[in-house]
Amino acid sequence: MMKKFLTIILLGSCLTGFAQESTRRFRFGLKAAPTLGWIKPDYRSLPDGYTVEGGGLRLGFIWGPSAEWMLNETFIISTGADISYTSGKIKGKVNTKVNNLPLAYDWQQVYKLRFIDIPLMLKFRTKEIGYFRYFGVFGLGAGFRTSAKTEFSTIVGSSETIDRSDNSKKYVNLFRGSMLVGGGAEYNLAGNTSLVASIVFNNGLTNLIKDQGASTLDPSVNLKESGVNNYFMLNLGVLF
């Protein structure tokens, strides 16, 4: 009887130790991240009199659950499921002729996008220095478009025409691949609970924009639109 009792205690201790070790290997949490993004256009061939350029920086926001699997104290696999609200703008000028009549106008295209992004990163972390650990991250991201809104503005002289659409999925590709690189720090609150802050650059690798068809002012021109979406994000979160 005593041997059975000791055996049960020993097995219970082993299982408890294994469960605690598993808990230490996996961490889950939540994060939120304001973003600063832009679209880099890549129009390889433009008709004479047409110019295209980036439209500057725009704010966005990302939030979602995160998870880590610790290979050891230094090397960690990090992932999650991010709900990404990003935005970008491209603009250009037209100075040409249609039916031998001069045509000159400015235009800009604003994209307001929502993606579900799945990052997969390798995290290199230092040992604890005081209450802090410092780390760098590098990896890839896969994004899947869930919604797209656009605003197309045409400015002719002092007159501006704006065409808004709340369903512009046909103008934005479904998949967005990206490369992620950045760094940050963890602050230990208690036990396995830590506050995390990092700055990460998300560099788009795939074309974001689909062709939008012929210009309404110049139907003979159909620009082959292309561009990638990049952004910096300030990640703030907690891991348990």
Distance CA 219, CA 213 (A): 9
Which class is domain 26-239?
Answer: mainly beta
Q: What is the pLDDT of residue 8?
A: 38
Distance CA 79, CA 130 (A): 26
Q: Are strands 58-70 and 26-41 parallel, antiparallel or unpaired?
A: antiparallel
Local confidence pLDDT in tens for the 240 residues of the chain: 444 443 433 444 443 343 444 446 899 999 999 999 999 987 766 777 888 889 899 999 999 999 999 999 899 999 999 999 999 999 988 887 777 778 788 888 899 999 999 999 999 999 999 899 999 999 999 999 999 999 988 888 778 888 898 988 988 999 999 999 999 999 999 888 999 999 999 999 999 987 665 455 555 556 677 889 999 999 999 999
Domain ranges of the chain: 26-239
**pTM of the full structure:** 0.83
